[in-house]
Amino acid sequence: MTRTNDHRSQTDPWGPQNRIPDGISCVGLLLLLVIVLSTLGVGLGTAAAGRRSDVAEVTASSSPTIEPTPTENPLIGVRKTQQAATGTPTATPQKPDTSTPTPSPSETPTETPTHVPTSTSTSTPSPTPVDTPTMTNTPIPTSTPTPTPLPTPSGSYSSTLKVPILMYHYVSIPPEDADEYRLDLSVSPETFRQHMTYLYDHGYSTIDLYDLSRAITNKEELPPNPVVITLDDGYRDNYENAFPVLEEYGMTATFFIITDFIDQGHPEYMTWAMIEEMAQRGMRFEPHSKTHPDLRGQERDYVIYQVLGSRETIEAHLEHRPRYFAYPSGRYDEQVLDIMAELDYWGAVTTAGGTWHGFNDRYEWSRVRIRNVTHLEEFIDLIE
Ligand SMILES: [Zn+2]
């Protein structure tokens, strides 16, 4: 038996030695395992607890059910915090997102635009002010632009046109004691209406002398059957008897007025109030001198006084510079013609008969005299 032991010992000299260390190592290993496991267990426990507290805090508001998977919880929690935060902050994240993108794109555009516009706007204003000054200047030249071509066809174009310029004076029944001149110059309101009715019914179009000048020098088109109606001297019956008929037919006329007679308030002549009213309603007023003198053989200054003074008076009342003149009693000489050009008149009418008008004879345009005895048949012959 001992031999067995011995044998054992012999056969296993290292038996007990091996066993002891074996035993020690096993126990030590077990102990180590226990220690390690215990320490690990504690560590895991604390870690898990920490995570759970975090999750609890995070998911407290949202859903505490998702405790089991702690690893996911923080993520969910984070997501939910983001989502929960989204509620109010959704805008905030989006805002910064949109704001950050928007600013960057909008900044670049806005900046470039704003700068470009500002530059363009600054450049635009600079022209606009330039325009405004020119605008302030324009009113004065206003007459110039329209007319610029008028006085000077500059050889480019000029034509002679057939346009009857009718010449009336009184539109009333003369008093019984009227002299032959007064009689001759008078057309009854009834006759005047007959004439206007005829023009209207036969497709005539009333134009003014500005239209005629532009047609002659600029080749501007005139309406069909153009006719210019003029009334000399500015008698009050023009306002009382002619103006209503003209308005009734939608026609316009040119009134050559003697400015001093109007200034003096002579009852036989129109008042400035009447003239201003008619001008506002489309009627033209041009000078017929200040006092209706014979302009032939006069001092140069006197002619200028009559021709320019009457124009300035009308201009002061109507804020429009007249450009046409009617020679008193149709009398004029070379000096008068020169002064018309010097004062930049665009045309003048005489009492000579005729219906053709051009640029070269613009200071001697003829007219069709309408007399007291000019009844409809003769009237038709005169204008056609
Ligand atoms: Zn006259």
Neighbours of ion ligand 1 (CB under 5 A): 232-233
Maximum mean pLDDT: which of 25-34, 116-125, 309-318: 309-318
Q: How far is the CA of 124 from the centre of ligand 1 (A)?
A: 53
Q: How far apart are the CA of 158 and the centre of ligand 1, in A?
A: 29
User: Which range (152-156, 196-200, 230-234, 330-334) has the least confidence?
Assistant: 152-156
Give 351 Cα–ligand 1 centroid separation in angstroms.
9
Ligand 1 centroid from CA 248, angstroms: 26
How far away, in angstroms, is 383 Cα from ligand 1 center? 22
What single DSSP character describes residue 65?
G
Distance CA 73, CA 65 (A): 10
Average pLDDT over the chain reads 73
DSSP string over 246-314: HHHTT---EEEE-HHHHHTT-TTB--HHHHHHHHHTT-EEEE--SS----TT--HHHHHHHHHHHHHHH
Grade residue 100 by pLDDT with cuts at 50, 70 and 90. Answer: very low
Please say if the pLDDT value at position 71 is more than 50.
no
Q: How far is the CA of 294 from the centre of ligand 1 (A)?
A: 10
Higher pLDDT, 59 or 208: 208
Buried b (16+ CB within 10 A) or exposed e, 323-336: bbbbbbbbebeeeb
The alpha carbon of 376 and the centre of ligand 1 are apart by a number of angstroms equal to: 24
Separation of CA 303 and ligand 1 centre (Å): 16
Q: Write the pLDDT tens digit of every residue in 112-153.
A: 333 333 333 333 333 333 333 333 333 333 444 444 445 554
CA of 77 to the centre of ligand 1 (A): 106
